[in-house]
Structure formats: C-alpha cells, structure tokens
Amino acid sequence: MRVVVPFDAANPNSRLSSVLSADQRRGFAAAMLADVLSAVRDAGGEPTVLAAAPVDGVDAPVAVDDRPLSVAVNAALGDLPTAVVMADLALATPAAVGGLFDADGDVVLAPGLAGGTNAVVARHSEFRVDYHGASFRDHVAAAESVGASVATVDSFRLAVDVDEPSDLVDVFVHGDGAAADWLRDAGFELAVRDGDPVVEPNA
C-alpha cells in the first residue's frame, strides 16, 4: 500500500522542549521516523515522506509541500488506497501497521491520544483529512458525509504519538528501535519519582 508519512523536520515535537533541545528534538524525530518507516515497510507498505522542506538522511522518497499539513496530505492522497501514518508513532510495530492496512472500510482510522487521528487508510476518492482540533470525530463525520464506510483500529501502539515528556516513558518501556536507542545514547534513563516513571538525564 502507498503510505504517506508527514514529517516536520524543522521544529518537530515542540512539546518535548522541556526535556530536549531543538537539536535533540530533530535527532529524536529522525529516529522515530526511521522506526515508522521500518514498521510500514515490514507491514508491506511503500512509504513516502511528506515534508515542508527538503530533508536529508531519510531512507525513503521525500515529497516536499510547504502548505499546511491537511492541505499537503490531501494533495498527496493520489492513487487509492493510500495510508497516512504520522512520523512520531515510535511504538508502531509491523503487526499494528498491518492491522491498519488489513481493516475493511472505505476509511480506516487509528485514534491518537486526546482526540487525534494518528493513521488513516483512504479508499474513497472524496474523503479528505483535517487534522485541526478533535480530528478523529471530524474524520468520522467527513467519511460519513461522502457516504464512505468507516472502520476503527484499536491499537495502543498506533495511538501514542510521542509529543509529551510522559510519552518518552512508553518509548523506553515498549520501544525497541531507533527512538529508544537514541534516548539511551543521548544519556536518558527511566527513573521512578513519587511512584511514577519518568525519563530524565542519567546522573
């Protein structure tokens, strides 16, 4: 399946800025992207990275489109079916991505935490994405408005888009790819503070 992977190379994962510097965030985002591309390929997908500006060092074709995210994704849907998988799904596995590809529906949606949509399969030519706000609910409505059937994939590994410091805990606990390696190599470790796990620079 064709898979579009939108990637913010310039200022990725800004909510991690309390933990990671801008340079670190770019390095970590590239590692997460590598994990996503690997999971997509192992699930039988053919990924293209969609970026607002040229990016180097990405192990996939890169399409450049500097328009807003939803506009650029809709322009990239092209021949259907096409999947859209976010670049910060550091926990994605081939099985989870395969479950997305295999689900029946004109539109298949994988929820992201806090109302978002982390992955889509579009098989209906009139369906359009809109990532603003509570996008999951809006995508269900958008599909229904064009008469497209909707299926939902129930996956923790697709639901966690890594954009908050607490998400780094899950990269440590559940990740076994480039993103987890990046965190360890950058000197972070898993600790427990007041009973809660946190990721912090090692002492």
Q: Are 175 and 109 in contact (CB under 8 A)?
A: no
Give the residue, chosen from 157, 162, 175, 183, that forms a contact with a second copy under the rule CB under 8 A: 157
Question: Could you identify the residue written with the tokens 């081939």?
Answer: 94
Per-residue contact string for residues 161-200; x = within reach of a second copy by CB under 8 A: -----xx-xx-xxx---------------x-x--xxx---
Question: How many CB atoms are closer than 10 A to CB 129?
Answer: 25
State how far Cα 95 lies from the chain centre.
15
Distance (Å, rounded) from C-alpha 69 to C-alpha 187?
32
Question: Could you identify the residue written with the tokens 């958008």?
Answer: 142
Question: Could you identify the residue written with the tokens 């966690």?
Answer: 160
Distance (Å, rounded) from C-alpha 143 to C-alpha 150?
7
Q: Are 149 and 84 in contact (CB under 8 A)?
A: no
- In whole angstroms, the minimum distance from the beta carbon of 98 to a second copy comes to 11
Element (H, E) at 24: helix 22-42
- In whole angstroms, the minimum distance from the beta carbon of 75 to a second copy comes to 20
**Contacting range for a second copy; rule: CB under 8 A; set: 24-32, 42-50, 77-85, 91-99:** 91-99
Contact between 139 and a second copy per CB under 8 A: no
Helix (H, G, I), strand (E, B) or coil at 116: strand
Strand partners, 82: 2, 122
Contact between 96 and a second copy per CB under 8 A: yes
Interface of this chain with a second copy, residues 110 to 129, rule: CB under 8 A: 110-111, 113-115
Contact between 155 and a second copy per CB under 8 A: yes
- In whole angstroms, the minimum distance from the beta carbon of 7 to a second copy comes to 19
- In whole angstroms, the minimum distance from the beta carbon of 129 to a second copy comes to 15
- In whole angstroms, the minimum distance from the beta carbon of 121 to a second copy comes to 16
Between 20 and 58, whose beta carbon lies closer to a second copy?
A: 20
Contact between 18 and a second copy per CB under 8 A: no
What does residue 176 show for φ and ψ, rounded to 5 degrees? -140, 30
Contact between 13 and a second copy per CB under 8 A: no
Give the residue, chosen from 51, 86, 121, 160, that forms a contact with a second copy under the rule CB under 8 A: 160
Beta-sheet pairing, 116-122 with 107-112: antiparallel
Q: Which residues bind a second copy (CB under 8 A)?
A: 93, 95-96, 110-111, 113-115, 132-134, 136-137, 154-160, 166-167, 169-170, 172-174, 190, 192, 195-197
